[in-house]
Chains A and B, each alone.
Chain A
Amino acid sequence: MSDHAPTAPPSTPAKATPNRLGFLERNPGLRSPLGLVIPLLLLMVVITLVNPVFLETRNLFNVLRQISVFVVLGTGMTVVMASKGIDLSVGSTVALSASTTAIVLESGVAMSVPLGIAAGLAAGAAVGAVNGLFITVLKVPPLITTLGTLTAVRGAAYLVMGPNQLRGFPDAFVFLGQGRVFGIPMPGIIALVVVALGAYVMNRTRFGAYVLAIGGERSAAVRAGVRAWRYEWAAYVISGTLAGLAGIMLAARLDAAQAVLGQMMELHAIAVVVLGGTFLFGGYATLLGTLLGAMFLGVAENGLVLMRVPFYWQQLVIGLTLVIAVAIQLYRARRQGLATS
Protein backbone atom coordinates (compact mmCIF):
# COMPACT_ATOMS: atom_id res chain seq x y z
CA MET A 1 0.00 0.00 0.00
CA SER A 2 2.95 2.31 -0.17
CA ASP A 3 2.58 5.41 -2.24
CA HIS A 4 5.55 7.34 -3.50
CA ALA A 5 4.25 10.85 -3.03
CA PRO A 6 4.97 13.45 -5.68
CA THR A 7 7.61 16.01 -4.84
CA ALA A 8 5.06 18.79 -4.90
CA PRO A 9 4.87 21.15 -1.90
CA PRO A 10 3.04 19.63 1.09
CA SER A 11 -0.22 21.49 0.62
CA THR A 12 -0.77 20.35 -2.93
CA PRO A 13 -1.70 16.69 -2.39
CA ALA A 14 -4.34 17.65 0.16
CA LYS A 15 -5.87 20.07 -2.33
CA ALA A 16 -5.51 17.81 -5.34
CA THR A 17 -7.68 15.09 -3.86
CA PRO A 18 -10.86 17.16 -3.37
CA ASN A 19 -10.79 18.18 -7.00
CA ARG A 20 -10.96 14.58 -8.09
CA LEU A 21 -13.74 13.71 -5.66
CA GLY A 22 -17.34 14.66 -6.26
CA PHE A 23 -19.56 16.60 -3.87
CA LEU A 24 -21.12 13.52 -2.34
CA GLU A 25 -17.73 11.90 -1.89
CA ARG A 26 -16.48 14.92 0.00
CA ASN A 27 -19.64 14.98 2.08
CA PRO A 28 -20.62 11.33 2.52
CA GLY A 29 -22.74 12.28 5.50
CA LEU A 30 -25.23 13.96 3.17
CA ARG A 31 -25.99 10.80 1.23
CA SER A 32 -28.69 9.50 3.55
CA PRO A 33 -30.66 12.71 4.08
CA LEU A 34 -30.51 13.75 0.42
CA GLY A 35 -31.84 10.33 -0.43
CA LEU A 36 -35.12 11.45 1.13
CA VAL A 37 -35.59 14.45 -1.13
CA ILE A 38 -36.92 12.66 -4.19
CA PRO A 39 -39.31 10.41 -2.23
CA LEU A 40 -40.57 13.50 -0.43
CA LEU A 41 -41.17 15.36 -3.68
CA LEU A 42 -42.88 12.32 -5.18
CA LEU A 43 -45.10 12.06 -2.14
CA MET A 44 -46.08 15.70 -2.44
CA VAL A 45 -46.88 15.25 -6.12
CA VAL A 46 -49.05 12.22 -5.49
CA ILE A 47 -51.00 13.89 -2.69
CA THR A 48 -51.54 17.03 -4.75
CA LEU A 49 -52.91 14.95 -7.59
CA VAL A 50 -55.42 13.33 -5.25
CA ASN A 51 -56.33 16.50 -3.38
CA PRO A 52 -54.95 19.84 -4.60
CA VAL A 53 -55.83 21.44 -1.28
CA PHE A 54 -52.47 20.12 -0.14
CA LEU A 55 -50.58 22.91 -1.85
CA GLU A 56 -52.73 25.69 -0.42
CA THR A 57 -50.77 28.03 1.83
CA ARG A 58 -53.15 27.49 4.72
CA ASN A 59 -52.59 23.75 4.56
CA LEU A 60 -48.84 23.95 4.11
CA PHE A 61 -48.55 26.29 7.08
CA ASN A 62 -50.61 23.86 9.11
CA VAL A 63 -48.24 21.07 8.21
CA LEU A 64 -45.32 23.32 9.14
CA ARG A 65 -46.83 24.05 12.54
CA GLN A 66 -47.44 20.39 13.21
CA ILE A 67 -44.02 19.16 12.21
CA SER A 68 -42.27 21.95 14.13
CA VAL A 69 -42.78 20.15 17.41
CA PHE A 70 -41.24 17.00 15.97
CA VAL A 71 -38.31 18.87 14.46
CA VAL A 72 -37.50 20.20 17.93
CA LEU A 73 -38.03 16.81 19.61
CA GLY A 74 -36.12 15.15 16.80
CA THR A 75 -33.13 17.43 17.29
CA GLY A 76 -32.82 16.35 20.92
CA MET A 77 -33.37 12.72 19.96
CA THR A 78 -30.67 13.01 17.28
CA VAL A 79 -28.12 14.17 19.84
CA VAL A 80 -29.01 11.35 22.24
CA MET A 81 -29.01 8.75 19.49
CA ALA A 82 -25.61 9.95 18.33
CA SER A 83 -24.28 8.99 21.75
CA LYS A 84 -25.70 5.51 21.26
CA GLY A 85 -28.57 6.27 23.59
CA ILE A 86 -32.32 6.71 23.35
CA ASP A 87 -34.80 8.94 25.17
CA LEU A 88 -38.27 7.51 25.52
CA SER A 89 -39.32 10.09 28.09
CA VAL A 90 -39.69 13.09 25.77
CA GLY A 91 -43.43 12.70 25.25
CA SER A 92 -44.05 12.79 28.99
CA THR A 93 -41.61 15.67 29.35
CA VAL A 94 -43.68 17.61 26.84
CA ALA A 95 -46.65 17.17 29.15
CA LEU A 96 -44.72 18.13 32.27
CA SER A 97 -43.29 21.20 30.59
CA ALA A 98 -46.64 22.33 29.20
CA SER A 99 -48.27 21.81 32.59
CA THR A 100 -45.58 23.68 34.47
CA THR A 101 -45.66 26.57 32.03
CA ALA A 102 -49.46 26.70 32.17
CA ILE A 103 -49.48 26.83 35.96
CA VAL A 104 -47.07 29.76 35.95
CA LEU A 105 -49.00 31.56 33.21
CA GLU A 106 -52.26 31.21 35.10
CA SER A 107 -50.76 32.13 38.46
CA GLY A 108 -50.99 35.83 37.74
CA VAL A 109 -47.42 36.67 38.74
CA ALA A 110 -45.66 39.53 37.06
CA MET A 111 -43.63 38.58 33.98
CA SER A 112 -45.59 35.36 33.78
CA VAL A 113 -44.66 34.74 30.16
CA PRO A 114 -40.86 34.75 30.49
CA LEU A 115 -41.15 32.99 33.84
CA GLY A 116 -43.50 30.41 32.41
CA ILE A 117 -41.18 29.70 29.52
CA ALA A 118 -38.22 29.46 31.87
CA ALA A 119 -40.17 27.07 34.09
CA GLY A 120 -41.08 24.84 31.19
CA LEU A 121 -37.51 24.70 29.95
CA ALA A 122 -36.24 24.07 33.46
CA ALA A 123 -38.69 21.20 33.91
CA GLY A 124 -37.38 19.64 30.72
CA ALA A 125 -33.78 20.15 31.73
CA ALA A 126 -34.49 18.59 35.12
CA VAL A 127 -35.91 15.46 33.51
CA GLY A 128 -32.86 15.31 31.28
CA ALA A 129 -30.55 15.69 34.26
CA VAL A 130 -32.28 12.84 36.07
CA ASN A 131 -32.05 10.65 32.99
CA GLY A 132 -28.39 11.54 32.67
CA LEU A 133 -27.74 10.70 36.30
CA PHE A 134 -29.19 7.21 36.04
CA ILE A 135 -27.56 6.47 32.72
CA THR A 136 -24.13 7.96 33.30
CA VAL A 137 -23.48 7.45 36.99
CA LEU A 138 -25.66 4.47 37.90
CA LYS A 139 -25.08 2.89 34.50
CA VAL A 140 -28.71 1.91 33.97
CA PRO A 141 -29.22 1.32 30.23
CA PRO A 142 -30.89 4.28 28.46
CA LEU A 143 -33.79 2.17 27.26
CA ILE A 144 -34.75 1.15 30.78
CA THR A 145 -34.02 4.51 32.37
CA THR A 146 -36.10 6.53 29.97
CA LEU A 147 -38.84 3.92 30.03
CA GLY A 148 -38.99 4.52 33.76
CA THR A 149 -38.91 8.28 33.52
CA LEU A 150 -41.51 8.15 30.75
CA THR A 151 -43.90 6.73 33.34
CA ALA A 152 -42.69 8.76 36.30
CA VAL A 153 -42.75 12.08 34.47
CA ARG A 154 -46.24 11.45 33.16
CA GLY A 155 -47.25 10.94 36.77
CA ALA A 156 -45.48 14.15 37.72
CA ALA A 157 -47.41 16.02 35.04
CA TYR A 158 -50.66 14.82 36.54
CA LEU A 159 -49.46 15.82 39.99
CA VAL A 160 -48.71 19.30 38.72
CA MET A 161 -51.84 19.70 36.65
CA GLY A 162 -54.46 17.39 38.01
CA PRO A 163 -56.98 15.98 35.55
CA ASN A 164 -57.98 19.45 34.33
CA GLN A 165 -57.15 21.51 31.35
CA LEU A 166 -55.85 25.05 31.60
CA ARG A 167 -56.52 27.42 28.76
CA GLY A 168 -56.54 31.05 27.74
CA PHE A 169 -52.92 32.13 28.00
CA PRO A 170 -51.50 35.63 27.57
CA ASP A 171 -51.26 36.83 23.97
CA ALA A 172 -47.50 37.13 24.09
CA PHE A 173 -47.27 33.45 24.89
CA VAL A 174 -49.85 32.28 22.36
CA PHE A 175 -47.93 34.17 19.70
CA LEU A 176 -45.22 31.55 19.96
CA GLY A 177 -47.62 28.96 18.65
CA GLN A 178 -50.03 30.91 16.49
CA GLY A 179 -48.23 34.04 15.42
CA ARG A 180 -46.30 34.78 12.30
CA VAL A 181 -43.10 36.62 11.56
CA PHE A 182 -42.68 37.93 8.01
CA GLY A 183 -45.61 35.71 7.11
CA ILE A 184 -43.96 32.53 8.41
CA PRO A 185 -45.57 30.67 11.30
CA MET A 186 -43.63 31.19 14.52
CA PRO A 187 -43.30 27.48 15.38
CA GLY A 188 -41.60 26.98 12.01
CA ILE A 189 -39.06 29.66 12.78
CA ILE A 190 -38.34 28.21 16.22
CA ALA A 191 -37.94 24.75 14.72
CA LEU A 192 -35.61 25.96 11.99
CA VAL A 193 -33.43 27.84 14.46
CA VAL A 194 -33.25 24.79 16.73
CA VAL A 195 -32.36 22.32 14.00
CA ALA A 196 -29.79 24.70 12.51
CA LEU A 197 -28.18 25.12 15.92
CA GLY A 198 -28.22 21.38 16.35
CA ALA A 199 -26.50 20.89 13.02
CA TYR A 200 -23.85 23.43 13.89
CA VAL A 201 -23.14 21.88 17.28
CA MET A 202 -23.01 18.29 16.03
CA ASN A 203 -21.00 18.99 12.87
CA ARG A 204 -18.75 21.87 13.75
CA THR A 205 -17.92 21.78 17.44
CA ARG A 206 -15.76 19.58 19.65
CA PHE A 207 -18.80 18.91 21.79
CA GLY A 208 -20.65 17.36 18.88
CA ALA A 209 -17.59 15.39 17.83
CA TYR A 210 -17.27 13.91 21.32
CA VAL A 211 -20.96 12.98 21.54
CA LEU A 212 -20.61 11.15 18.22
CA ALA A 213 -17.33 9.59 19.32
CA ILE A 214 -18.76 8.05 22.48
CA GLY A 215 -21.61 6.70 20.39
CA GLY A 216 -19.43 5.41 17.59
CA GLU A 217 -16.74 3.69 19.68
CA ARG A 218 -16.80 4.66 23.30
CA SER A 219 -13.53 2.96 24.23
CA ALA A 220 -11.70 4.79 21.47
CA ALA A 221 -13.07 8.10 22.70
CA VAL A 222 -12.07 7.38 26.29
CA ARG A 223 -8.59 6.33 25.28
CA ALA A 224 -8.27 9.52 23.28
CA GLY A 225 -8.87 11.42 26.49
CA VAL A 226 -12.56 12.23 26.15
CA ARG A 227 -14.47 12.38 29.49
CA ALA A 228 -17.34 10.32 28.19
CA TRP A 229 -19.75 10.78 31.08
CA ARG A 230 -19.92 14.55 30.63
CA TYR A 231 -21.04 14.38 27.04
CA GLU A 232 -23.45 11.54 27.65
CA TRP A 233 -25.09 13.44 30.48
CA ALA A 234 -25.23 16.64 28.45
CA ALA A 235 -26.96 14.82 25.59
CA TYR A 236 -29.87 13.89 27.87
CA VAL A 237 -30.10 17.37 29.34
CA ILE A 238 -30.30 18.73 25.81
CA SER A 239 -32.98 16.22 24.87
CA GLY A 240 -34.98 17.05 27.98
CA THR A 241 -34.68 20.80 27.49
CA LEU A 242 -35.74 20.58 23.87
CA ALA A 243 -38.68 18.44 24.95
CA GLY A 244 -39.47 21.25 27.33
CA LEU A 245 -39.37 23.70 24.44
CA ALA A 246 -41.64 21.41 22.44
CA GLY A 247 -44.12 21.40 25.31
CA ILE A 248 -44.12 25.18 25.35
CA MET A 249 -44.67 25.32 21.59
CA LEU A 250 -47.52 22.86 21.85
CA ALA A 251 -49.23 24.69 24.68
CA ALA A 252 -48.90 27.95 22.76
CA ARG A 253 -50.34 26.49 19.56
CA LEU A 254 -53.28 24.88 21.35
CA ASP A 255 -53.67 27.78 23.78
CA ALA A 256 -54.31 24.99 26.26
CA ALA A 257 -52.43 22.50 28.37
CA GLN A 258 -53.28 19.24 30.06
CA ALA A 259 -51.34 16.36 31.49
CA VAL A 260 -52.29 13.97 28.72
CA LEU A 261 -50.34 15.88 26.07
CA GLY A 262 -47.47 14.38 24.17
CA GLN A 263 -48.58 10.76 24.25
CA MET A 264 -46.51 8.61 21.87
CA MET A 265 -44.50 11.60 20.68
CA GLU A 266 -41.27 9.83 21.53
CA LEU A 267 -41.95 7.18 18.93
CA HIS A 268 -42.80 9.78 16.33
CA ALA A 269 -39.54 11.57 17.13
CA ILE A 270 -37.50 8.38 16.86
CA ALA A 271 -39.15 7.53 13.54
CA VAL A 272 -38.36 10.98 12.19
CA VAL A 273 -34.71 10.79 13.23
CA VAL A 274 -34.07 7.30 11.89
CA LEU A 275 -35.88 8.06 8.66
CA GLY A 276 -33.48 10.92 8.14
CA GLY A 277 -30.47 8.62 8.33
CA THR A 278 -29.08 9.13 11.83
CA PHE A 279 -27.75 5.78 13.07
CA LEU A 280 -29.90 4.17 15.72
CA PHE A 281 -26.71 2.76 17.26
CA GLY A 282 -24.69 5.92 17.41
CA GLY A 283 -21.65 7.39 15.70
CA TYR A 284 -23.37 9.19 12.86
CA ALA A 285 -26.01 11.90 12.98
CA THR A 286 -27.62 14.19 10.44
CA LEU A 287 -29.83 17.09 11.47
CA LEU A 288 -30.72 17.74 7.85
CA GLY A 289 -32.01 14.18 7.85
CA THR A 290 -34.10 14.86 10.95
CA LEU A 291 -35.61 17.90 9.28
CA LEU A 292 -36.37 16.01 6.07
CA GLY A 293 -37.65 13.04 8.02
CA ALA A 294 -40.06 15.27 9.91
CA MET A 295 -41.21 16.80 6.63
CA PHE A 296 -41.72 13.38 5.09
CA LEU A 297 -43.78 12.00 7.96
CA GLY A 298 -45.70 15.27 8.32
CA VAL A 299 -46.56 15.36 4.66
CA ALA A 300 -47.53 11.68 4.74
CA GLU A 301 -49.87 12.23 7.67
CA ASN A 302 -51.34 15.32 6.08
CA GLY A 303 -51.85 13.33 2.92
CA LEU A 304 -53.75 10.66 4.81
CA VAL A 305 -56.04 13.31 6.27
CA LEU A 306 -56.60 15.01 2.91
CA MET A 307 -57.38 11.68 1.32
CA ARG A 308 -59.92 11.11 4.08
CA VAL A 309 -58.18 8.01 5.32
CA PRO A 310 -59.36 7.04 8.83
CA PHE A 311 -57.21 8.43 11.63
CA TYR A 312 -55.84 5.16 12.94
CA TRP A 313 -53.96 4.61 9.70
CA GLN A 314 -51.57 7.25 10.94
CA GLN A 315 -50.51 4.97 13.81
CA LEU A 316 -49.89 2.23 11.30
CA VAL A 317 -47.87 4.51 9.05
CA ILE A 318 -45.64 5.79 11.84
CA GLY A 319 -45.02 2.36 13.25
CA LEU A 320 -44.23 0.77 9.92
CA THR A 321 -42.08 3.71 8.87
CA LEU A 322 -39.95 3.29 11.97
CA VAL A 323 -39.31 -0.40 11.45
CA ILE A 324 -38.72 -0.13 7.71
CA ALA A 325 -36.42 2.85 8.15
CA VAL A 326 -34.30 0.95 10.68
CA ALA A 327 -34.19 -2.08 8.37
CA ILE A 328 -32.96 0.03 5.47
CA GLN A 329 -30.41 1.74 7.67
CA LEU A 330 -29.02 -1.55 8.97
CA TYR A 331 -28.82 -2.97 5.47
CA ARG A 332 -26.87 0.04 4.24
CA ALA A 333 -24.58 0.04 7.24
CA ARG A 334 -23.71 -3.64 6.84
CA ARG A 335 -22.96 -3.14 3.17
CA GLN A 336 -20.56 -0.34 4.06
CA GLY A 337 -18.83 -2.48 6.61
CA LEU A 338 -19.97 -0.40 9.55
CA ALA A 339 -20.53 -2.85 12.35
CA THR A 340 -23.79 -2.52 14.21
CA SER A 341 -24.37 -3.56 17.82
Chain B
Amino acid sequence: MSDPTTRTEAGDTAPPPSGTPHVRLRGLVKRFGGVVALRGVDLDIARGEVLGLVGDNGAGKSTLIKVLTGVHPADEGTIELNGATVEMDHPDRAREFGIETIYQDLALVPTFDLPTNFFLGRELTRPLLGGLLQVTDKARMREIATNVVRDQVGLAIGNPYAPAATMSGGQRQAVAIGRALYEEAELVIMDEPTAALGVEEQEKVLDIIRRLKADGVTIVMISHTLDHVFAVADRIAVMHNGELHAVKATSEVTRTEVVGLIMGSQLHDDAA
Protein backbone atom coordinates (compact mmCIF):
# COMPACT_ATOMS: atom_id res chain seq x y z
CA MET B 1 0.00 0.00 0.00
CA SER B 2 2.87 2.39 0.45
CA ASP B 3 4.90 3.21 -2.62
CA PRO B 4 8.66 3.14 -2.59
CA THR B 5 8.63 6.81 -1.79
CA THR B 6 12.23 7.30 -0.82
CA ARG B 7 13.47 9.07 -3.89
CA THR B 8 17.07 9.88 -4.64
CA GLU B 9 18.96 11.15 -7.61
CA ALA B 10 20.55 7.81 -8.23
CA GLY B 11 17.22 6.01 -8.03
CA ASP B 12 18.54 3.86 -5.18
CA THR B 13 15.48 2.99 -3.18
CA ALA B 14 14.69 0.36 -0.64
CA PRO B 15 11.04 0.65 0.32
CA PRO B 16 10.13 0.49 3.99
CA PRO B 17 7.83 -2.29 5.16
CA SER B 18 4.25 -1.58 4.15
CA GLY B 19 1.70 0.26 6.27
CA THR B 20 1.38 3.95 7.14
CA PRO B 21 4.90 5.12 7.83
CA HIS B 22 5.66 6.33 11.33
CA VAL B 23 7.38 9.36 9.85
CA ARG B 24 7.01 10.78 6.36
CA LEU B 25 9.23 13.67 5.30
CA ARG B 26 8.52 15.43 2.03
CA GLY B 27 10.55 18.13 0.38
CA LEU B 28 12.33 19.34 3.51
CA VAL B 29 14.44 22.41 2.85
CA LYS B 30 16.47 24.26 5.47
CA ARG B 31 18.70 27.25 4.88
CA PHE B 32 21.05 29.01 7.24
CA GLY B 33 21.78 32.37 5.71
CA GLY B 34 23.33 31.54 2.36
CA VAL B 35 23.98 27.90 3.14
CA VAL B 36 21.42 25.31 2.06
CA ALA B 37 21.73 22.55 4.63
CA LEU B 38 18.81 20.45 3.36
CA ARG B 39 17.90 20.51 -0.32
CA GLY B 40 14.54 18.82 -0.42
CA VAL B 41 14.62 15.58 1.55
CA ASP B 42 12.00 12.88 1.08
CA LEU B 43 12.10 10.00 3.51
CA ASP B 44 9.73 7.47 4.99
CA ILE B 45 10.52 5.80 8.28
CA ALA B 46 8.53 2.70 9.16
CA ARG B 47 7.23 2.02 12.62
CA GLY B 48 9.58 -0.17 14.59
CA GLU B 49 12.46 -0.05 12.14
CA VAL B 50 16.00 0.93 13.00
CA LEU B 51 17.20 3.42 10.42
CA GLY B 52 20.89 4.21 10.26
CA LEU B 53 21.56 7.76 9.09
CA VAL B 54 25.05 8.18 7.73
CA GLY B 55 26.98 10.75 5.79
CA ASP B 56 30.06 12.89 5.91
CA ASN B 57 30.40 16.01 8.03
CA GLY B 58 28.17 18.70 6.65
CA ALA B 59 26.00 16.24 4.73
CA GLY B 60 22.95 17.36 6.68
CA LYS B 61 22.34 14.49 9.11
CA SER B 62 22.18 16.62 12.24
CA THR B 63 20.16 19.29 10.46
CA LEU B 64 17.64 16.72 9.30
CA ILE B 65 17.27 15.50 12.87
CA LYS B 66 16.91 19.02 14.21
CA VAL B 67 14.25 19.85 11.66
CA LEU B 68 12.39 16.63 12.47
CA THR B 69 12.42 17.45 16.17
CA GLY B 70 11.54 21.12 15.93
CA VAL B 71 14.87 22.61 16.93
CA HIS B 72 15.05 24.31 13.52
CA PRO B 73 11.67 24.69 11.86
CA ALA B 74 11.87 23.74 8.17
CA ASP B 75 11.82 26.47 5.54
CA GLU B 76 9.91 24.26 3.11
CA GLY B 77 8.41 20.82 3.14
CA THR B 78 6.14 18.77 5.34
CA ILE B 79 6.45 16.35 8.21
CA GLU B 80 3.81 13.68 8.74
CA LEU B 81 3.61 11.58 11.86
CA ASN B 82 1.37 8.51 11.64
CA GLY B 83 -0.24 9.98 8.55
CA ALA B 84 -1.08 13.38 10.01
CA THR B 85 0.79 16.54 9.03
CA VAL B 86 2.50 18.15 12.00
CA GLU B 87 4.02 21.58 12.40
CA MET B 88 7.28 21.00 14.21
CA ASP B 89 7.90 24.50 15.55
CA HIS B 90 9.56 23.72 18.87
CA PRO B 91 11.23 20.77 20.60
CA ASP B 92 8.26 20.81 22.94
CA ARG B 93 6.16 19.63 20.04
CA ALA B 94 8.38 16.66 19.30
CA ARG B 95 8.09 15.48 22.88
CA GLU B 96 4.32 15.76 22.65
CA PHE B 97 4.39 13.36 19.72
CA GLY B 98 6.49 10.81 21.51
CA ILE B 99 9.81 11.71 19.92
CA GLU B 100 12.85 11.70 22.19
CA THR B 101 16.32 12.69 21.10
CA ILE B 102 19.76 11.88 22.45
CA TYR B 103 22.06 14.59 21.16
CA GLN B 104 25.70 14.19 20.36
CA ASP B 105 26.62 16.93 22.85
CA LEU B 106 24.15 15.36 25.33
CA ALA B 107 22.28 18.66 25.86
CA LEU B 108 23.06 18.85 29.58
CA VAL B 109 23.26 21.92 31.79
CA PRO B 110 26.75 21.69 33.35
CA THR B 111 25.83 23.40 36.63
CA PHE B 112 22.85 21.13 37.26
CA ASP B 113 23.20 17.73 38.85
CA LEU B 114 22.39 14.67 36.73
CA PRO B 115 18.87 14.00 38.09
CA THR B 116 17.90 17.63 37.43
CA ASN B 117 19.21 17.26 33.89
CA PHE B 118 17.30 13.99 33.58
CA PHE B 119 14.03 15.75 34.32
CA LEU B 120 14.75 19.04 32.56
CA GLY B 121 11.54 20.36 31.05
CA ARG B 122 9.26 17.92 32.85
CA GLU B 123 10.11 18.25 36.51
CA LEU B 124 8.12 16.32 39.08
CA THR B 125 6.45 18.40 41.74
CA ARG B 126 4.77 17.79 45.02
CA PRO B 127 2.20 19.96 46.77
CA LEU B 128 3.13 22.16 49.70
CA LEU B 129 0.95 23.95 52.21
CA GLY B 130 -1.99 21.75 51.44
CA GLY B 131 -1.81 22.19 47.69
CA LEU B 132 -1.34 25.96 47.63
CA LEU B 133 2.12 25.66 46.18
CA GLN B 134 3.87 23.17 43.94
CA VAL B 135 7.46 22.44 44.84
CA THR B 136 9.91 20.51 42.68
CA ASP B 137 10.25 17.06 44.17
CA LYS B 138 14.01 16.68 44.09
CA ALA B 139 14.14 13.53 46.20
CA ARG B 140 11.79 11.64 43.92
CA MET B 141 13.55 12.84 40.80
CA ARG B 142 16.84 11.70 42.27
CA GLU B 143 15.43 8.30 43.06
CA ILE B 144 13.77 7.74 39.68
CA ALA B 145 16.76 8.96 37.70
CA THR B 146 19.10 6.73 39.67
CA ASN B 147 16.85 3.71 39.19
CA VAL B 148 16.19 4.23 35.48
CA VAL B 149 19.86 4.73 34.70
CA ARG B 150 20.78 1.65 36.73
CA ASP B 151 18.02 -0.63 35.52
CA GLN B 152 17.46 0.44 31.92
CA VAL B 153 20.89 1.69 30.94
CA GLY B 154 22.97 -0.48 33.22
CA LEU B 155 25.17 2.18 34.76
CA ALA B 156 25.47 3.71 38.21
CA ILE B 157 24.66 7.39 38.17
CA GLY B 158 27.36 8.28 40.68
CA ASN B 159 26.93 11.23 43.00
CA PRO B 160 23.41 12.54 42.27
CA TYR B 161 24.16 15.87 43.90
CA ALA B 162 27.27 16.85 41.97
CA PRO B 163 27.13 19.16 38.96
CA ALA B 164 27.12 17.41 35.59
CA ALA B 165 30.36 19.12 34.63
CA THR B 166 32.22 17.10 37.26
CA MET B 167 30.82 13.72 36.20
CA SER B 168 32.43 11.31 33.79
CA GLY B 169 31.51 11.13 30.11
CA GLY B 170 29.95 7.71 30.59
CA GLN B 171 27.75 8.89 33.45
CA ARG B 172 26.62 11.92 31.45
CA GLN B 173 25.86 9.76 28.42
CA ALA B 174 23.96 7.29 30.59
CA VAL B 175 21.74 10.07 31.87
CA ALA B 176 21.14 11.40 28.35
CA ILE B 177 20.08 7.92 27.25
CA GLY B 178 18.07 7.17 30.39
CA ARG B 179 16.24 10.45 29.94
CA ALA B 180 15.01 9.35 26.51
CA LEU B 181 14.09 5.86 27.69
CA TYR B 182 12.14 7.09 30.70
CA GLU B 183 9.54 8.79 28.55
CA GLU B 184 8.84 5.53 26.67
CA ALA B 185 8.98 7.36 23.39
CA GLU B 186 7.64 5.96 20.13
CA LEU B 187 10.55 7.35 18.16
CA VAL B 188 14.03 7.61 19.63
CA ILE B 189 16.64 9.56 17.70
CA MET B 190 20.27 9.03 18.63
CA ASP B 191 23.03 11.29 17.35
CA GLU B 192 26.36 9.44 17.60
CA PRO B 193 25.28 7.38 20.62
CA THR B 194 28.50 5.36 20.80
CA ALA B 195 30.97 8.06 19.93
CA ALA B 196 32.39 8.92 23.34
CA LEU B 197 32.16 5.49 24.94
CA GLY B 198 34.44 2.60 25.73
CA VAL B 199 33.90 -0.81 24.12
CA GLU B 200 31.86 -2.32 26.94
CA GLU B 201 29.63 0.74 27.08
CA GLN B 202 29.20 0.75 23.32
CA GLU B 203 27.89 -2.81 23.51
CA LYS B 204 25.47 -1.72 26.22
CA VAL B 205 24.13 0.99 23.91
CA LEU B 206 23.69 -1.45 21.05
CA ASP B 207 21.87 -3.80 23.43
CA ILE B 208 19.59 -0.95 24.41
CA ILE B 209 18.84 -0.34 20.75
CA ARG B 210 18.04 -4.02 20.23
CA ARG B 211 15.80 -4.01 23.30
CA LEU B 212 13.95 -0.90 22.15
CA LYS B 213 13.46 -2.48 18.76
CA ALA B 214 12.00 -5.57 20.38
CA ASP B 215 9.58 -3.26 22.17
CA GLY B 216 8.44 -1.81 18.84
CA VAL B 217 10.17 1.54 19.19
CA THR B 218 11.25 3.27 15.98
CA ILE B 219 14.88 4.31 16.05
CA VAL B 220 16.92 6.68 13.94
CA MET B 221 20.63 6.40 14.59
CA ILE B 222 23.26 8.80 13.27
CA SER B 223 26.67 7.25 13.38
CA HIS B 224 30.10 7.47 11.84
CA THR B 225 30.85 3.97 13.11
CA LEU B 226 29.58 1.77 10.27
CA ASP B 227 30.22 -1.38 12.31
CA HIS B 228 27.56 -0.28 14.74
CA VAL B 229 25.17 0.74 11.98
CA PHE B 230 25.52 -2.63 10.32
CA ALA B 231 25.07 -4.34 13.68
CA VAL B 232 21.61 -2.96 14.41
CA ALA B 233 20.11 -1.07 11.47
CA ASP B 234 17.41 -2.45 9.15
CA ARG B 235 18.01 0.21 6.51
CA ILE B 236 20.78 2.70 5.95
CA ALA B 237 20.04 6.21 4.68
CA VAL B 238 23.01 8.02 3.20
CA MET B 239 23.06 11.80 3.10
CA HIS B 240 25.31 13.81 0.87
CA ASN B 241 25.37 17.57 0.34
CA GLY B 242 22.02 18.15 1.98
CA GLU B 243 20.24 15.48 -0.02
CA LEU B 244 19.14 11.94 0.69
CA HIS B 245 21.57 10.23 -1.62
CA ALA B 246 20.47 6.63 -1.14
CA VAL B 247 18.47 4.36 1.14
CA LYS B 248 19.40 0.70 1.17
CA ALA B 249 18.38 -2.30 3.19
CA THR B 250 21.34 -3.27 5.36
CA SER B 251 21.27 -6.79 4.06
CA GLU B 252 21.56 -5.61 0.48
CA VAL B 253 24.63 -3.41 0.72
CA THR B 254 28.21 -3.81 1.79
CA ARG B 255 30.30 -1.61 3.99
CA THR B 256 32.48 -0.59 1.10
CA GLU B 257 29.48 0.40 -0.95
CA VAL B 258 28.16 2.52 1.91
CA VAL B 259 31.48 4.29 2.23
CA GLY B 260 31.33 5.01 -1.45
CA LEU B 261 27.80 6.33 -1.18
CA ILE B 262 28.83 8.58 1.68
CA MET B 263 31.43 10.08 -0.59
CA GLY B 264 28.82 10.63 -3.24
CA SER B 265 29.33 7.75 -5.63
CA GLN B 266 26.42 6.10 -7.41
CA LEU B 267 25.71 2.43 -7.08
CA HIS B 268 25.35 1.03 -10.56
CA ASP B 269 23.45 -2.13 -11.45
CA ASP B 270 22.40 -4.57 -8.75
CA ALA B 271 19.62 -4.79 -6.27
CA ALA B 272 16.69 -2.37 -6.27
Contacts and interface: CB of A to CB of B under 8 A. Distances in A.
The yes or no verdict on A and B being binding partners is yes
Interface string B55-75: 000000000000001010000
What's the interface size class on A, roughly?
Answer: 35 or more
Interface in A310-337: 336-337
Contacts of B142: 14
B17 interface: no
Contact of A25 (B155, B159, B204): B159
Interface in A11-70: 11, 13-14, 17, 21, 25-28
A259 B130 CA distance: 45
28 contacts: A1-B155, A1-B170, A1-B171, A2-B154, A2-B156, A3-B156, A5-B150, A5-B151, A17-B159, A25-B159, A25-B162, A27-B161, A28-B162, A206-B125, A206-B134, A206-B136, A212-B111, A212-B112, A216-B110, A217-B108, A222-B91, A223-B71, A224-B91, A225-B92, A226-B120, A283-B110, A283-B112, A339-B110
B201 interface: yes
What's the interface size class on B, roughly?
Answer: 35 or more
Given A222-B91, A223-B71, A17 B147 contact: no
B163 A336 contact: yes
A25 B109 CA distance: 19
A171 to B, nearest CB: 34
Nearest to A282: B111
B91 A336 contact: no
Contacts of A308: none
Given A206-B136, A216-B109, 9 more contacts: A2-B156, A5-B156, A17-B146, A213-B112, A283-B111, A336-B166, A337-B165, A338-B111, A338-B165
Residue among B103, B109, B120 with max Cβ neighbours from chain A (10 Å) = B109
Interface string B175-199: 0000000000000000000000010
Interface of A: 1-3, 5, 10-11, 13-14, 17, 21, 25-28, 204-206, 209, 212-213, 216-217, 219-227, 279, 283-284, 336-339
A340 to B, nearest CB: 10
B257 interface: no
A205 B127 CA distance: 11
